[in-house]
Amino acid sequence: MPLTVLTDEHQAIISSLAEHDPDKAEKLIYNHLELMLNEQQSVISEFSDYFKNINIMYQQHAI
Query: Alpha helix (H) ranges present in the chain?
Result: 3-18, 22-38, 40-46, 48-60
- How far is C-alpha 56 from the geometric centre of its chain's CA atoms? 18
Rounded CA-CA distance 5/12 in Å is: 11
pTM of the predicted structure, to 2 decimals: 0.68
Residues 28/16, Cβ–Cβ less than 8 Å? yes
* Poorest-pLDDT segment among 30-34, 45-49, 56-60: 56-60
Look at residue 49 and tell me whether its pLDDT is greater than 90.
Answer: no
More reliable by pLDDT, 61 or 13: 13
